[in-house]
Amino acid sequence: NSTLNFKHIFQASPNPILIVNETGVLIENNPAAERLFGYGKGAMTALTSQSLFRDYHGHPYNFLETQKNGETKNFKVDHVWGIKKEGSTFPLGIDIHPIEENGYILFIKDTSGLIKSKERNAPLAGSPNLITKNKDNHSNAIDATIESLATTSRSGNQHSNAETIENRAIVNEALFSAIAENFPTGLIMVFDRQLKSIYFEGAEIEELGLDKSDFEGKHIDDIKLYDDENILQLKHNIKRTIEGEKLNYATTFGSRIYTINSAALTIDENTVWALFVAHNITEQTRVQKELQIVLKKVNERTKELDETVQRLVETNLELEDQIQLTKRAEAEAKENQALFVAIAENFPQGIIAVVNQKCAYEYIDGEIISQFGVDPNVLKGRKVDSLSWVYENRKNSMMNDVKRTLKGEHLNFEVGFNTEIFSVHTTPLVDNHGEIIRALFVYNNITEQKLIEKKVRKALKKEHQLNLLKSRFITTASHEFRTPLSAILSSTDLIKVQNGEGKEDTRIRHLDRIQANVGRLVEILDEFLSISKLEEGKVEPKPQSFELLDYIRYLLNELRPNLKIGQSFKTDFNNKKINVRHDAKLLDHILRNLLINAIKYSDEDTPILIAAESKNDNVVMEITDHGIGIPKHEQKNMFKRFFRAQNATHIQGTGLGLNLVKDYVKLMGGSITFDSELGKG
């Protein structure tokens, strides 16, 4: 019976109630708690008290730490912040009651209307990691936890099924009693079919000057609390409730006024009790009466005004017509105002704001505004540039937008707030005389569209680059492959002809020519493969330690066979040694490409200077040639892919070399620049 009582009271209570185990883990909650914290049915199970509460400093609040040296006693906590599912916070108070040293019942009181909370601009960090279960698993978890609470208060030995049921009933009885005794602003009463009081509890019993012994076990006619009218009403309602009706009505106990909710408690197939939960609404009723008095006075005053208007109407029929028009206009204005408010409050993923000529908010609301932890009512009447959480430069921009709109401009722009992006449209609002008196701002959240747009642009750009690379590859390959392939073909034909004795030198010369042109083909293919690897992100530096100057000397010796007649390498090293740690292979690609370019684009009988110097943990290398140079107007395209200067089109090349060099230098954490003068190198 106590289990049924507990579940009915627990579920029917309008006050949020949480039940946690001895470690602070939530094992049960009623629907009122789910509504307060913004969770769906069953979604709060397994949360911790620390994930639901914060202290005034924003730190997780653990009420178990207030229990010192194993104490278990009732206590209250005020000025704590609750955390809703979406991350927003609100002030609350907690009444905490231990359960046989195995858990706690927490009665939650939302104090948002009583305490002026500090505004918070974003959800608290560290949102709880939720664990959700389906309905069956949720019920099993609760039953298992209740059984665990019961059995841990006794010996650890194996219990029979009857003992387990008895233990669970003891725990449920403790839970029910704790809830009932501390039931805020109300009473709990249970009657049987014979109109006998079975149970009477509530926090207001002592305030009413009553004792439970005056009620429990007594027939309703013997209870002094009720007058004859209340007794008749209660008798009738007990019978209706036991027959299955759920009632909701108001009544009085002494000078107090209560609303009553009733429900039938089925104990077994032969026993049904009537449960009555009374909520004290005396204060609300007093406020309502005072409001009615004020409204009555307003109505009386309105009636006097109506009579005065009527007298005026009787003396001037034209005025009556005007009044009728005015009333219709007022009705339309109210209707439009209600429509506007409904649209603003439910404006999907956006905000609607109206600013007056003083640059102050007259109205602001929208579905998304609560996500920023902002109360629209707090903003009304405040100037646009007085918002503390907005940066100064943004305030100035907002003020400028308002002033421009009040001058008649219609603006469309985008603005960022935190991590969100909004599309903003502004419109000047005019009065009946056509004068601008307000500015309308409509903010539409386009963050998701922007992310999609960015991805599409990135994909299109990549696709464009790939198509361009394919097209350039076909064009370049068809042009650059033709010359070496033609040379190879002609050399093979000549070798066939020069196959006799004494012509070995001629054959060797043609074979060298074939080898050189095959090398050229390999070089072209390597450049395209390198571009492909860079595009796919497959090139990563692999640093190793080596001496730089010896490496440069080795590279110059390797490239000397490629020098034209009269060309030479000159070195300028200010250091004896320069020890570095870099990717030697990438450095080889860089220097080899630059040196071959210097050879290719310089005339015969010209020197090529290579300088290297260590400066402040950096290495500066310079390669100077005396070649054809680059026209001034084309220098901005120097490192672009496939670029070739107009004065170099007669020289073989793909336009990929310097682009690869720049990418390789960037991968190694360096930079590359150049100076060039046409005709000087």
Residues 202 and 176 in one domain: no
Q: Is residue 457 part of a domain?
A: no
- Res 132 pLDDT > 60: no
206 lies in the same domain as 169: no
Instruction: Give domain status of residue 31, yes or no.
Output: yes
Lowest mean pLDDT segment, chosen from 6-15, 590-599, 602-611? 6-15
Strands 607-615 and 568-573: parallel
Task: Name the range with the highest mean pLDDT among 29-33, 138-142, 532-536.
Answer: 29-33
Tell me the pLDDT tens digit for each residue of 538-550: 778 889 999 999 9
Q: Is residue 323 part of a domain?
A: no
Which of these ranges, 81-90, 442-451, 518-527, has the smallest mean pLDDT? 518-527
**Statement to judge: residues 172 and 210 lie in one domain:** no
Q: Which of 89-93, 112-116, 524-528, 666-670 has the weakest average pLDDT?
A: 112-116
**Separation of alpha carbons 427 and 412, rounded Å:** 9
Percent of the chain clearing pLDDT 90 (strictly above): 16
C-alpha span between 678 and 626 (Å, rounded): 10
Decide if 470 is inside a domain: no
Give the range among 427-436, 514-523, 578-587, 623-632 with minimum mean pLDDT.
Answer: 514-523
Domain count of the fold of the chain: 4
CA separation, residue 500 to residues 488, 496, 503, 504 (Å): 20, 9, 6, 8
Give the CATH number, domain containing residue 663. Answer: 3.30.565.10
548 with 660, same domain: the answer is: yes
The parent domain of residue 62 ranges over 2-181
92 sits in the region (left: phi over 0; alpha: psi -120 to 50; else beta) called: beta
Same domain, 176 and 202: no
Of 254, 280, 306, the one marking the end of a domain is 280
Cα 17 from Cα 36, distance rounded (Å): 10
Same domain, 113 and 8: yes
Of the listed ranges 143-157, 184-198, 367-381, the least confidently predicted one is: 143-157
Q: What is the DSSP letter of 47?
A: -
Domain stop point among 181, 216, 247: 181
Residue 177 lies in a domain: yes
Residue appearing with tokens 């040694």: 577
- Domain for residue 528, yes or no? no
Say which amino acid occupies 466.
Answer: L
Q: What is the DSSP letter of 372?
A: G
Which of residues 445, 474, 491 is at a domain's end? 445
User: Does 558 share its domain with 624?
Assistant: yes
According to the model, what pLDDT value does residue 485 have?
A: 66
Predicted local distance difference test score (pLDDT) of residue 163 = 46
- pLDDT the model gives residue 72: 66
pLDDT (mean) for 551-575: 89
Name the pLDDT band for 565 (thresholds 50, 70, 90). very high
pLDDT > 90? residue 34 = yes
State pLDDT tens for residues 406-416: 999 999 998 88
pLDDT at 127 over 50: no
- pLDDT tops 80 at residue 100: no
In this prediction, residue 139 has a pLDDT band, given cuts at 50, 70 and 90, of very low
In a domain, 300, yes or no: no
> 4-18, 52-66, 137-151 — which is least confidently predicted?
137-151
Whether residue 191 is found in the same domain as residue 135:
no
CATH code of the domain in which 220 resides: 3.30.450.20
- Mean pLDDT within 93-102: 80
Q: Are residues 52 and 20 in the same domain?
A: yes
| Residue 36 and residue 131 share a domain | yes
Q: Ranked by mean pLDDT, which of 113-122, 461-470, 663-672 comes out on top?
A: 663-672
- 519 found inside a domain: no
Q: Do residues 240 and 365 both lie within one domain?
A: no
Q: 74 or 34: which carries more pLDDT confidence?
A: 34
pLDDT, one tens digit per residue, over 142-181 is 333 334 333 333 333 344 444 444 444 444 555 455 555 5
Q: What is the 3-state secondary structure (H, E, C) of 511-576?
A: HHHHHHHHHHHHHHHHHHHHHHHHHCCCCCCCCEEEEHHHHHHHHHHHHHHHCCCCCEEEEEECCC
* Calpha distance 87→37 (Å, rounded): 10
Q: pLDDT tens digits for 596-638?
A: 889 988 989 999 999 999 988 899 999 999 988 888 888 888 8
**Contact between residue 137 and residue 154 where contact means Cβ atoms under 8 Å apart:** no
Distance CA 179, CA 171 (A): 12
pLDDT at 157: 38
Comparing C-alpha atoms, which of 424, 463, 466, 439 is closest to residue 357?
439
Q: What is the pLDDT of residue 663?
A: 86
Query: Are 68 and 158 in a shared domain?
Result: yes
pLDDT of residue 427: 92
Reply yes or no on whether the pLDDT at 297 is more than 50: yes
Please give the Cα distance from 166 to 415 (Å, whole number).
64
Paired tokens of 85: 């599912």
The pLDDT score that the predictor gives to residue 405 is 92
What percent of the chain is modeled with pLDDT above 70? Answer: 73
Over residues 284-311, the mean pLDDT reads: 83
What's the whole-model pTM score? 0.32
Please give the mean pLDDT across all residues of the chain.
Answer: 77
Among 51-55, 265-269, 433-437, the minimum mean pLDDT is found in 265-269
pLDDT at 68: 54
3-state secondary structure of 624: strand
- pLDDT score recorded for residue 83: 92
